[in-house]
Amino acid sequence: MPNQPQSGICAEASSDATFVLLNCIKGKEHTLREVLSKLPDLIERKQNKFAGTQLYATIGFSVYAWDTLFSQPKPKHLEAFPILKGEFIEVEPEQIDICLHVRSIRRDATFALTRALVDIFEDSVEVKSQTDCFKYLDNRDLTGFVDGTENPQGDNRAQVALIQNEDPNYVNGSYLNLMKFVHDLPKWESVPVEKQEQIYGRTKEEDIEFPASEKSVHAHTKRTSLKDDQGQSLEILRQSMPFGNLYEKGLMFASYAKTPEIFNTMLKSMIIGDEDGNTDHLMKYTRAPYGSLFFVPANSFLRQFTPEA
């Protein structure tokens, strides 16, 4: 299939995932570009080896990597992640070059592909961090509430996530907004369930959204359910998953969209608030060590960097 999108963008939710953040090693840019052409076939070989595990991957590049690695024009909306300072939470951009997002329904498959992808880069990259994620109960965040309830379904997933005429040079590419949220679970778990439900704007066990008239202006679902000037809902494709160990636990928030502006608008609504200063009170119970924006090009973009290129 010509100009095929990377497999991890639109595929249905997984039960296991790994996010690896990489930085380019100065002087190794040519080696790194040659590796890129090998990635689609490497991923396909691992998918065949681990058939039935719904193994997918994406590789995305930040604005910092793009300026270093590529002579091609930048995708239209590729820029640094915004700096946001609100009442309860601050977000600073992380200067990371590359993001690997690998996911499946089996840990061994995720591990095998992640290892193969990092190994093939050899000494052209430095691993900055690795975060392993898991499905929690019936797709819930560690706060106990279902995550991704409003995700687009069916063909609408591609319509939301994949670039078409918006940027003709990068058809079937996508923007990946990545944020690490570290939750204060003891603080959250001390809150009565009824108040937790008011903070989210939906019930905890049954996952039933409150009527708009009954939602607090500070409810998470109120602050993230936004419309454009034409009254159309602003949508992103969430591929977020919880993570946790004995030291920190929370959510790796990952969203794919044909433009990063939709997520940026949602984030500003949550952290900075609306024109009346109404913010998302869920932010009282978490912190965000970093946020990053990556562009995930179609496979044809990666394949062009052959040794002869």
Scan for tokens 């928030």, then name that residue. 253
- Check whether 109 has a pLDDT greater than 60: yes
Give residue 228's pLDDT: 83
Dist. CA 15–CA 241, nearest whole Å = 8
Alpha carbon distances (Å) from 127 to 26, 30, 34, 209, 221:
14, 18, 19, 40, 35
| Cβ atoms < 10 Å from Cβ of 52 | 10
- Check whether 215 has a pLDDT greater than 80: yes
Taking phi first (over 0 means left), then psi (-120 to 50 degrees means alpha), and beta for anything else, what does residue 201 get?
left
Dist. CA 114–CA 129, nearest whole Å = 13
Output the six-digit token pair for 185. 């679970």
Dist. CA 169–CA 86, nearest whole Å = 36
Contact 113, 39 (CB under 8 A): no
Tell me: the pLDDT tens digits for 237-296?
A: 999 999 999 999 999 999 999 999 999 999 999 999 998 999 999 999 999 999 999 999
Q: Could you say which of 147, 155, 167, 274 is catalytic?
A: 147
Give the closest residue to 42 by CA, choosing from 129, 100, 87, 127: 100
Q: What residue spans define the domains of the chain?
A: 16-76+84-303
Residue 246 contacts by C-beta under 8 Å, 6 or more apart in sequence? Answer: none
Output the six-digit token pair for 82. 């915004």
Contact 213, 105 (CB under 8 A): no
Scan for tokens 């691993």, then name that residue. 127
Of all helices (H) and strands (E), which one includes residue 235? Answer: none
- Judge whether 123 counts as a catalytic residue: no
Give the closest residue to 126 by CA, choosing from 274, 26, 227: 26
How is residue 62 annotated by DSSP? -
Give residue 309's pLDDT: 47
Tell me: the pLDDT tens digits for 22-66?
A: 999 999 999 999 999 999 999 999 999 999 999 999 999 999 999
